A and B are shown apart, each in its own frame.
Chain A
Amino acid sequence: MTDAGTTTKRRAPEAILVDLELCKACGICVEFCPQDVFDRDPLGEPVVARLDDCTTCLFCERHCPDFAIEVRRAASAADQPEGEG
């Protein structure tokens, strides 16, 4: 896992949307979230449990193999640095 060094905490997004029609419950988003935002439901699908801990790193959105996750940025997303990884 890359170490981004010291970062200021980025703002939490407005929402993390998971399209369960596309999700195949592979677990990548849950396993790699650096802030442990997700839990897994009995089917293995991700559940957004701790949205406020999310730093909008966008790892889950980019590494979902099924295009099932959208991290809807907060209103002033423009002044956020790019996510790592």
Chain B
Amino acid sequence: MPQPRRLVQGNEAVAEGAIAAGARFFAGYPITPSTEIAEVLSRRMPQVGGHFIQMEDEIASIAAVIGASLAGAKSLTATSGPGFSLMQESIGYAAMAQVPCVIIDVMRGGPSTGLPTEPSQGDVMQARWGTHGEHSIIAFVPSSVMECFTLTVEAFNLAEAYRTPVIVLSDATVGHMREAVALPTPDELRIAPRGEPDVPPEEYDEVMSTVDNILPRPALGSRYAVHVTGLVYDRARGGAPATGTPAVAEGLGRYLREKIYHHRDAICRVEEIGMEDAEVAILAYGSVARSARAAMRWARRQGVKVGLVRPITLWPFPTVAVDHLAEQVRTIIVPEMNLKQFSWEVQAAVRGRAKVVDHGRVDGKLIRPEEIQALIKREFYYHRWEETA
């Protein structure tokens, strides 16, 4: 039975989603526009028997999150661009060592100190490649307060299922907006448990996960002896460092990629609205998708066949959805609050089968429906457009 409908802030919804998902450890550092997540969790964690700690910096925060996760707690941190940059090394550590955790990045104008109180979508590529080395990542991008809640829950579920860090890319608009929502209660949600391997401790060192059977790692302090490292390690020998064996390094690297990409159909989520007969599509995500939806509805009211494709996961890239799109429409408009970070990827996936029109803004202001409407108009040159919005 859901809670009563009330005005909830996006950041608050993230915090409540984490609690609902079973998160019991938060370590973070204040940074606009994410700070409310820390403030809400500092109050909520003791209420649910969890732990909140404000660490000395973002580097310490992600390190503490990794430690708590290894000790058996579902853990998260929340930050914005500058803090996200600081966390990159340890995000890679979590990917390499296969430590489930959730990182909330409420994007703001960048680079550097940038525009602390204004939105952007400038961390899209950083979410994919911010940490060094070949790795894969999962990233969600909410575009509503309810999605701040539900996608945070999903982030924890996928972190557990795939033993990986998962990033939630919110932004200053989505994070600070308030919408009337009735947040679900935990019993209405699918919540993935941590689990324990089903082999006895003596056999644990030799048992290996496969892409179809990803085994959970037991917690530190359980009856299993656990060895975690950021060095290349041999999964067949209890995770012992194996930097001198090229075959092990290759095997591990490919496993870490396949672990996620093998399941991309289950992981990738895309919302499609009005796409059944669309001739032109807008591909937009996060807060920009809200403007895109308004522009799409404006076009449809005038009988123009425009649809919206809204990635809910940005990474892994929604190859299948974009592939279908390229076959169906003649133009894909990709508005973003950055300069072509995602549209380059769309263009690569489309491979010339459709025109890709990018539209970027880095002034800290939300892309307005009128901007997207202007781009739509250009695609239907002979249509007699009514001037009303």
**Direct A–B contact present (CB less than 8 angstroms):** no
Q: Using CB atoms and an 8 Å cutoff, list the residues of chain B in contact with chain A.
A: none
Q: Using CB atoms and an 8 Å cutoff, list the residues of chain A in contact with chain B.
A: none
